[in-house]
Amino acid sequence: MMLHATHAAHAGHSKITIRTVDTDVVVLAVALAYTLEEDDEVWVSFGMGKAFHFLAAHEMMRALGPEKAQALPMFHALTGCDTVSFFAGRGKRTACDVWTALPELTQIFIDLTTAPAQVDEDATQTIEMFVILSTVYPRHCRRSF
């Protein structure tokens, strides 16, 4: 889907709509919006029935900022997606709060998207700290670290 959307954008289409019921596709659409021209719009028609919405992935990308939008697929993959289990008893909100508290994690996620042959020790320790803080801290303490 993302390849088709990218091709459409490069062929001159400035408004793209992707239909899905999968949150993984929404995450990828937000990351896709980062790679397109500033005026391009990526819309996601998401859900079914009463839960159906049009989501503006390009606006989500702007709200996150370009770095976090670029790093979002790696964050999503690490914290739980179709092929990776989520952190037991903790949701994305807790993990997002920890990500905000560890700003150096954004560049690590971006670097990991290139599938490096090795991950340096500092990056590994930061990822470990992220996982520990995301899974161990009680909900009422998540904003206090």
Sign of CA dihedral 33, 100, 140, 86: positive
Confidence category of residue 87, pLDDT binned at 50, 70, 90: low
Alpha carbon distance 30, 23 (integer Å): 11
pLDDT for residue 78: 85
The pTM score is: 0.77
Single out the residue of 78, 73, 64, 76 nearest to residue 123, CA to CA.
78
Mean predicted confidence (pLDDT) in 94-116 = 91
Q: 142 pLDDT exceeds 50? A: no
Query: Quick check: 144 pLDDT over 50?
Result: no
Quickly list DSSP for the chain: -HHHHHHHHHTT--EEEEEES-HHHHHHHHHHHHHS-TT-EEEEEE-SGGG-EEEEHHHHHHHH-HHHHHHHHHHHHHH--SSSPPPTT--HHHHHHHHHH-THHHHHHHHHTT--S---HHHHHHHHHHHHHHHHS-GGGTT--
In this prediction, residue 71 carries a pLDDT of 94
Quick one: pLDDT at residue 145? 45
Mean pLDDT of 27-55: 94
